[in-house]
Structure 1
Amino acid sequence: NYDLFKLACRVSAKRLFPNFSFLDAPFNKSYYKEGHPETEVAYMGCRTRVLGNTFDKNNEITYGRGNLSFTSINLPRIAINSKGNIEWFFEELERKMELVTKQLLDRFQIQASKTVRNFPFLMGQGIWIGSDKLSTDDKIGEVLKHGTLSVGFIGLAEALVALTGSHHGQTVESRNLGLEIVGFMRDYLDRLSKEKQLNFTLLATPAEGLSGRFLRIDRKKYGVIPGVTDRDYYTNGFHIPVYFPLSAYEKIQIEAPYHALTNAGHITYIELDGDPNKNLEAFEKVIRTMKESGIGYGSINHPVDRDPVCGYNGIIDDECPGCGRKEKDGPIKFDRIRRITGYLVGTLDRFNDAKRAEVADRVKHNV
Structure 2
Amino acid sequence: MYFQTAIRLAAPVAFFGYAAFANIALFQADVEGPHLDGFVKGGFTQEVDTLYRANLPHRDVAVGWVGAARYVLLNEGRKGVIAGEKGWLFSSEEFREQDPDQIGLTDTLDWIASVQDRLAQTGTELVVVPLPAKLEIAQIHGGDAEQAQSIAGTYDLFLAELAARDIVTVDTRPALTTETAAFFQTDTHWTSAGAQTVAQTVAESGKVEIGTDKFTRADLDPIHFTGDLVSFVTSEELAPTVGLTMETVTPYVAEMAADDGAIGTIDLFGSDGPVPIALVGTSYSANPNWSFVEALKLELAQDILNFAEEGQGPVAPMHTYLETLDPAEAPPIVIWEFPVRYLSDPALMDSLLPTNGDDNV
TM-score under structure 1 length normalisation: 0.20
